[in-house]
A and B are shown apart, each in its own frame.
Chain A
Amino acid sequence: MDLFRFYKGKKNSQEPPPQLKPKPLKTSLKENVAEIKNVLGDVNDLLVRELELNNGVKAGVIGIDGLIDSEQAQRLIIYVLTIELPLIDSEVPQKRQELFDRIFNSRISMIDASTGTDFNDLYDKLLTGQVVVLIDGVPQCMYFDCKGWEMRSINEPATEKSLRGPKDSFVETIRVNTATLRRRIKDSRLRFDAHQVGSSSKTDVFVAYIEGITNPEYVKIANDRIKKIQLDILLNTSELIQLIEDPQRTIFPRLIETERPDKVAAALMEGQVAIFVDGTPFAILAPFYFTSAFQSIDDYGNETIFASFKRIMRYFCYFAIILTPGFYIALTTFHQEMIPFSLLITIISQRTTQPFSTFVETLIVLILFEILREASLRKPDAIGDSMTIVGSLIIGQTIVEAGLVSYAAIIMGALTTIASFVVSSTKINVPARILTVCFMIVGTQLGFYGITLAFIMLITHMCSLTSFGEPYLAPLAPFNLQDQKDQLVRLPFNWMKKRPQILKSQDQVRHDLPNLEKEDN
């Protein structure tokens, strides 16, 4: 396993996480309750209800306020124990263990139920929203899942908007997300491998894949890397990405997250692995290859030709973000012969009153746009209008009149910024904006020669990257003709009979639709 060579260097990550000592439950209800209260502290959200069953046997019902659906707990557990049980079981057996089994097996009718004997187990279950039922005299407890808490309703995706696609997105509750996915893939082969990450947060992390399609290698890598994480608290998919992506020094993301269930469903069916983290409305897709960031869900809703055109536009814009300011600076400092004569005259006449070089003024404009972008992300909605006025009108207009920058620099900055909105994924936007400045520096020092050189270095660097061990620029480098059907252009669906070969899925054939021509004959 050459892939994991980067883990071998670290000694402590080889060791398994320390196991807690087993701590068996006690027989006495009082002692058990006291122990629980002792460990959790006298917190006010701990609900302990001590009941007396019809034959004087004491029972305790314990839950955490806010995590459990108290109405459900009331109806299905406490009601059964106190009202129904005495009526039906008039002859309650005296043996406590028998009573325990009877209650668990035939009285409390909840689908998700289990029993346990260990305190550590009890705390885990209690804190994830299960209701614990203890019977006095039995060193065992019952767990009933009646999780219920306030959660956000399913909204429209905020970052990946689509014109014609579905309008739902993931929410913070992992169960809702898996259910959303199940509703899209009604396939018995859909699997979720469950993990808990974080010694304190105990965040649920699910690795979703389709058995028989997904390359087991990826599932293994995902499971192994998640298991090796040692962390106290995991709150975010972005954190998880940084913990499990291939450790290379780069500004490019090697994994990407999405908030669209349809995108995840499509990715799973192509042979990717999806990783869900509880508490985050995103799913990580792995392995990620760079060109997939340019595939929008709308590409599949639109006609082939229009979708292909838009996709080419997106690639063009990405290069525009990286290269435009650098090109402008190189043109005006080294290659004036390439600017059309009349345009050159206009640019020079504007520049005679400018105090700064083209590099500095372009940098000023870019930083200004970056400030505006950051401010508009964080601003309260109420001051949005005034910010637009200050940002666009006052600064945009007066900065030229004040003689700080020229119109051409504003155009370059605006072009770069607007192009960066076209490429929807912010994850690959950020490296592009950093590269913009790099190419500006190279352009002002070495001109087109430098830009060419830097571009070659950039492509070489990107070719060296991997995501889950797969080449980052696949299927462009290494080139795969079969996979070009959904890269620069999107061909009709009945042409794409096979799954992407770069994902090495076990079942290569996607579907067996007949070609339209054949149908006609």
Chain B
Amino acid sequence: MKRILLVICVVLLSGCREQVGLKELGLVAGLGIDKIEDGYLLTAQVVNPNAIGGNDSNALPIYSVSAEGETLYEAFQKIDNQSIHALYLAHLHVIVIDETTAEEGLNPILDFALRHTEIRPDINILVAYEETSQDILNVLIPNDPIPVSQLDIYVSMVKSHTGRLGSYNLYDTVKSVNKTGLDTVLNAASIDREPRPDNDSEDEDDSEDQQDKMDVASSTDNISKILPESNLEIKHFAVFNDDKLVGYLDDTEIQLYNILQNKDKYYILKIKVEDDYYVSMEANRVNTKIHTQVADRKVLINCEVTGILTENRYPMDLSAGHNVEILEEYFSEQLKKDLLALIEKTQTEVKADIFRIGGHAYNWENENWFNVKGHWDEIYPTLDFEVNVDVVIESIGDIENLYE
């Protein structure tokens, strides 16, 4: 009798409290956060499964809802109430934040995102480069019905081996964001809207033109063209000092950054020999060692890069071993110059320890580190870097020489 009572209680009293029918579910693929006067403007990109599943091919695959609020959660509740669906964040792909929010600090966003029980800690967080995050979310792109999942693929899956991209998810970010000596670099998404030859709105003034293009970008007009007018791209990388945005790197600089981070990715190195001949190689193995001597304000970086030759316009016989060594010399010099330039940029321009020199000091000379930790921001720009680069060309490809 007791058992029967128990079964009845379980079945009838459970009340299906957390039950959500699939039909009521609004899958949020992307969240955009923009700073406004007193609070945030939150934009959610919600998937419309009917358009993707083929029931309703005229409908757009996504729609956006946005609301303002003094706190992020308040704004989220407002858009949840506006939407006909129950917004579901467990399948969120990316969070996009605008520059103003990033300059003010990542901490409020990270707190909201990690505290929310539905949001996964491995989603990507992006900075909208010279755009509002709402605009980034509102672009329709041709090859993926859900635009932000394209961004997600960019930064996390397929392209994660290219040296010209970073991949930093929420969890990586939060591990380093508030620590001295471990500064963060995040991907920054932008909209590529180069004027096309068939564009007839050239003579209009710039801001109106921009507005016009945005209208096109967020409608099906954009995806019905072979060469879409607007597309999403990641070409810049936001540099943070602590949790505040301080500057950007471009895609060649992020490559150097990845080399210094000792990451095995595919790097494109190119040199110009004798001011005339381009030679390029693809590096896929990196061995970077950073030695710090914070007491003497010295940092020694040894960098060994291995790869294969991919293009050679310099007329020399590569079958002779020493000629390859000459090329290696050229590559090493060029890379060393580039690395030093990037280091100088971080020391003078953005003043952020993105190479995590402080982290190395913490690991290898712990006692000294605690002496300098308190004023690391002042010490970092004064560090004296010594960089040794050794480029090794493993293979010269299938042919030895095109020129006789």
The residues of A with any CB-CB pair to B shorter than 8 Å are: 332-334, 336-337, 341, 344-354, 357-358, 441-442, 444-447, 450
Contact = CB atoms under 8 A, between A and B. Distances in A.
Contact of B55 (A349, A357, A450): A349
29 contacts: A333-B19, A333-B21, A333-B22, A336-B20, A336-B90, A336-B91, A337-B88, A337-B90, A337-B91, A337-B118, A337-B120, A341-B27, A344-B49, A345-B47, A345-B52, A348-B23, A348-B27, A349-B50, A349-B54, A349-B55, A351-B22, A352-B49, A352-B55, A354-B23, A358-B22, A444-B16, A444-B19, A445-B14, A447-B18
B232 to A, nearest CB: 18
A209 B351 CA distance: 89
Contacts of B19: 333-334, 444
Given A346-B49, A442-B10, 8 more contacts: A333-B20, A334-B20, A336-B20, A348-B27, A349-B54, A349-B55, A352-B23, A445-B10
Nearest to B52: A345
A354 B55 CA distance: 12
B341 to A, nearest CB: 41
Contacts of B16: 333, 444-445
B55 A441 contact: no
Contact of A441 (B11, B50, B120): B11
Given A341-B91, A345-B47, A352-B49, A336 B25 contact: yes
A444 B16 CA distance: 8
A336 B53 contact: no
Contacts of B11: 441, 445
B49 A348 contact: yes
B290 to A, nearest CB: 39
Nearest to A341: B91
A348 B22 contact: yes
Contacts of A445: 10-11, 14, 16
Contacts of A441: 11
A330 B72 CA distance: 31
Contacts of B21: 333, 357
B397 to A, nearest CB: 39
A160 B118 CA distance: 50
How would you classify the secondary structure of chain A's contact residues: helix, strand, loop or mixed?
helix
Contacts of B14: 445-446, 450
A352 B49 CA distance: 9
B91 A351 contact: no
Interface in B19-58: 19-23, 25, 27, 47, 49-50, 52-55
Given A333-B21, A349-B50, A351-B23, A344 B91 contact: yes
Nearest to A349: B53
A446 B49 contact: no
Contacts of B52: 345-346, 349
B25 A348 contact: yes
A442 B21 CA distance: 16
A248 to B, nearest CB: 14
A30 B325 CA distance: 127
B53 A348 contact: yes
B18 A336 contact: no
A402 to B, nearest CB: 15
A349 B55 CA distance: 7
Contacts of A450: 10, 14
A251 to B, nearest CB: 15
A344 B91 CA distance: 10
Nearest to A346: B53
B50 A352 contact: yes
Contacts of B47: 345
Interface string B81-109: 00000001011010000000000000000
Nearest to B18: A334
A336 B49 contact: no
Chain B CB within 10 Å, residue with most, of A333, A334, A341:
A341
Contacts of B91: 336-337, 341, 344
Contact of A349 (B18, B49, B88, B120): B49
B22 A347 contact: yes
B143 to A, nearest CB: 14
Contacts of A358: 22
Nearest to B47: A345
A177 B20 CA distance: 59
Contacts of B120: 337
Contacts of A348: 22-23, 25, 27, 49, 53
A455 to B, nearest CB: 14
Contacts of B53: 345-346, 348-350
A442 B53 CA distance: 30
B10 A446 contact: yes
Nearest to B53: A349
B156 to A, nearest CB: 13
A341 B44 CA distance: 17
A56 B160 CA distance: 114
Contacts of B22: 332-333, 336, 347-348, 351, 358
Contacts of A353: 55
Contacts of A352: 23, 49-50, 55
A445 B11 CA distance: 7
A344 B120 CA distance: 17
Pairs A-B, 3 closest by C-beta atoms: A349-B53, A337-B90, A349-B49
Contacts of A333: 16, 19-22
Nearest to A339: B91
Contacts of A332: 22
A345 B149 CA distance: 13
B183 to A, nearest CB: 32
A354 B25 CA distance: 14
A444 B118 CA distance: 20
A450 B10 CA distance: 9
Nearest to B90: A337
Nearest to B11: A445
A434 to B, nearest CB: 15
A341 B23 CA distance: 15
A406 to B, nearest CB: 10
Contacts of B54: 349
